[in-house]
Amino acid sequence: DTGVSQDPRHKITKRGQNVTFRCDPISEHNRLYWYRQTLGQGPEFLTYFQNEAQLEKSRLLSDRFSAERPKGSFSTLEIQRTEQGDSAMYLCASSLPGGNEQFFGPGTRLTVL
């Protein structure tokens, strides 16, 4: 197993466009988390899944953001009508059932022009 993977690693888009990111967790990890990290800040929680169920969403997750994990494996995070303030690193993490450690992917860096 090669760890958590994210695709793409970098995305540049124009304001108003939609973007979608993918996260593949470590196999057998049933929990999957999305975080956002802006420049000079620590990561901030966005949402998380247990299997295919989305259990919690942060108030940071505006209605332009949507996340899915349809089969309880990979997850997608979509941002509609992107704004310059959405520019950030989007990090995905996964953990085992009952696990206390979250394993992070390399992140997707989004730049909105």
Partner 1 sequence: AQSVTQLDSQVPVFEEAPVELRCNYSSSVSVYLFWYVQYPNQGLQLLLKYLSGSTLVKGINGFEAEFNKSQTSFHLRKPSVHISDTAEYFCAVHSGNTPLVFGKGTRLSVIA
Which residues lie near partner 1 (CB under 8 A)? 4, 6, 31, 33, 35, 40-45, 48, 56, 58, 91, 93, 95, 98-107, 109
Rounded to the nearest whole angstrom, what is the least distance from the CB of residue 81 to partner 1 in the complex? 26
SS3 11: strand
Rounded to the nearest whole angstrom, what is the least distance from the CB of residue 58 to partner 1 in the complex? 8
- CA–chain centroid gap for 23, Å, is 7
Nearer to partner 1, 75 or 95 (CB): 95
Nearer to partner 1, 31 or 112 (CB): 31
Nearer to partner 1, 25 or 105 (CB): 105
- DSSP H helices in the chain: none
Nearer to partner 1, 68 or 80 (CB): 68
| Rg (the chain; Cα; Å) | 13
Rounded to the nearest whole angstrom, what is the least distance from the CB of residue 102 to partner 1 in the complex? 6
Q: How far apart are CA 67 and CA 76, in angstroms?
A: 6
How far apart, in Å, are the Cα atoms of 39 and each of 84, 89, 96? 13, 8, 29
